[in-house]
Amino acid sequence: MALDSLENAFYDELRDVLSAERQLIKALPKMAKKANSPELRKAFEVHLKETEKQEQRVEQAFADTGKAARAKTCEAMKGLLDEAEELLKEDAEPSVKDALMIAAAQKVEHYEIATYGTLCTWADLLGYDNAKRLLKENNAEEEATDQKLSKLAQSINAEALSPASA
**pLDDT tens sequence across 101-136:** 999 999 999 999 999 999 999 999 999 999 999 999
**Sign of torsion over alpha carbons 77, 83, 88, 93:** negative
Q: For domain 6-165, which CATH number applies: 1.10.1040.10, 2.60.40.420, 3.40.50.150, 1.20.1260.10?
A: 1.20.1260.10
Q: What is the pLDDT of residue 166?
A: 41
**Residue 63 above 60 pLDDT?**
yes
Q: Which residues of 61-74 are buried (b: 16+ CB within 10 A; e: fewer)?
A: bbebbeeeeebeeb
Q: What is the pLDDT of residue 163?
A: 60
Round to whole Å and give the CA distance between 98 and 117: 28
Residue ranges of domains in the chain: 6-165
Confidence of residue 92 (pLDDT cuts 50, 70, 90): confident
Straight-line distance from the first to the last Cα atom of the chain, in angstroms, rounded to the nearest whole number = 58
What is the arithmetic mean of pLDDT over 55-72? 95
